[in-house]
């Protein structure tokens, strides 16, 4: 039986950094941010629906969607964010489920399913356990500002568009803190794999 470990956390709490560790252990990852990007590529199912709703001013010169611009719009307008979610989430969920089914048929032992909005979208019911990568609010703002070149206000807007990380921690099966170095994180994840026994 495949064990599906849901992986979530707050924005910039360290999910992708955890994925890198799991990849090094040859554990397959289903990456929903990547899937969300793929369904918005020119010609893909999400593309036309997004352009129809948001207009061609969100396009780059080469007709691809300018995600930076789209992010600037939706994270400052709840109605528009809701609309983008309504367009993208069913398509993303369908692809995640297809990938899960493939791993199940291949009798893969452990698969990590990285879904930033896992609890927000009720995805935990499809997972055997959920790992939350946690971080303090202060460090989260600091890492997000640095990675995305955001002002403090921009970082806070993104953070506040998600369920509070403290709430995600309460709902988790496993919580791993990413408050130290990346080596510390990897050690904790390695201990977790022992605990799961896969
Ligand atoms: C708004 C978009 C265009 C911004 O693109 P950008 O390249 O700047 O960000 P990226 O996609 O890499 O996401 C970075 C992080 O933002 C957070 N985030 C993304 N989408 C959302 C959302 N709808 N609500 C709250 N937080 C979100 C997540 O923590 C994610 O890991 C993009 O995030 C998007 O299309 N979002 C809608 C699809 C979605 O919900 N994706 C999340 C996985 S299903
Ligand atoms: N332990 C750490 N020490 C220092 N920097 C870190 C650590 N863990 C992650 N980072 C950095 O913090 C930033 C956010 O980490 P990461 O991209 O893994 O978060 P994420 O949860 O995947 O974000 P998102 O929700 O946007 O997908 C990155 O620039 C990463 O290199």
ipTM greater than cut 0.90 = yes
What gap in Å lies between CA 9 and CA 172, rounded to an integer? 10
Nearest ligand to the CA atom of 117:
1
- Ramachandran class of 159: left when φ > 0, alpha when ψ lies in -120 to 50, beta otherwise: alpha
**CA-146 nearest atom, ligand 2:** 29
Confidence at 197, pLDDT banded by 50, 70, 90: confident
Q: Does residue 14 have a known ligand-binding role?
A: yes
Cβ–ligand 2 distance for 8 under 6 Å, the answer no
Q: How many CB atoms lie within 10 A of CB 184?
A: 13
The model's pLDDT over 73-116, given as tens digits with 9 standing for 90+, comes to 999 999 999 999 999 999 999 999 999 999 999 999 999 999 99
What is the structure's pLDDT at 152? 97
Q: Where are the domains of the chain?
A: 1-27+108-197, 32-106
Q: What backbone phi and psi angles, to 5 degrees, belong to 64?
A: -75, 160
The answer to whether the annotation marks 12 as part of a ligand binding site is yes
CA dist 99 and 31 (Å) reads 10
- pTM of this prediction? 0.95
Q: Is the pLDDT of residue 198 over 80?
A: no
Q: Please tell me the distance between residue 81's alpha carbon and the centre of ligand 1 in angstroms.
A: 10
Average pLDDT value over all residues in the chain: 96
**Which of 146, 150, 142, 134 has its CA nearest to residue 75?**
150
Establish whether domains 1-27+108-197 and 32-106 are of one fold: yes
Ligand nearest to the CA of 145: 2
Q: Is 16 annotated as a binding residue?
A: yes
* Range 32-106 has CATH code 3.40.50.2000: no
| Distance between Cα 34 and ligand 2 center (Å) | 16
Fold of 1-27+108-197: Rossmann fold (3.40.50)
């Amino acid at each position: 039986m495949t064990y599906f470990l849901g992986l979530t956390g707050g924005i910039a709490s360290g999910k992708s950094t955890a994925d890198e560790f799991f990849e090094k252990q040859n554990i397959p990852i289903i990456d929903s941010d990547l899937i969300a990007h793929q369904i918005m590529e020119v010609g893909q199912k999400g593309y036309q629906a997004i352009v129809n709703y948001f207009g061609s001013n969100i396009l780059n010169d080469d007709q691809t969607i300018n995600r930076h611009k789209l992010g600037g719009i939706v994270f400052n307008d709840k109605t528009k964010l809701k609309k983008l979610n309504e367009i993208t989430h069913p398509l993303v969920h369908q692809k995640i489920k297809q990938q899960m089914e493939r791993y199940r048929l291949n009798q893969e032992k452990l698969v990590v399913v990285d879904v930033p909005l896992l609890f927000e979208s009720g995805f935990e019911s499809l997972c055997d356990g959920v790992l939350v990568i946690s971080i303090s609010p202060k460090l989260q703002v600091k890492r997000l500002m640095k990675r995305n070149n955001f002002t403090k206000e921009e970082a806070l807007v993104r953070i506040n568009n998600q369920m509070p990380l403290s709430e995600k921690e309460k709902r988790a099966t496993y919580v791993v803190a990413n408050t130290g170095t990346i080596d510390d994180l990897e050690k904790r994840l390695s201990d977790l794999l022992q605990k799961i026994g896969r």
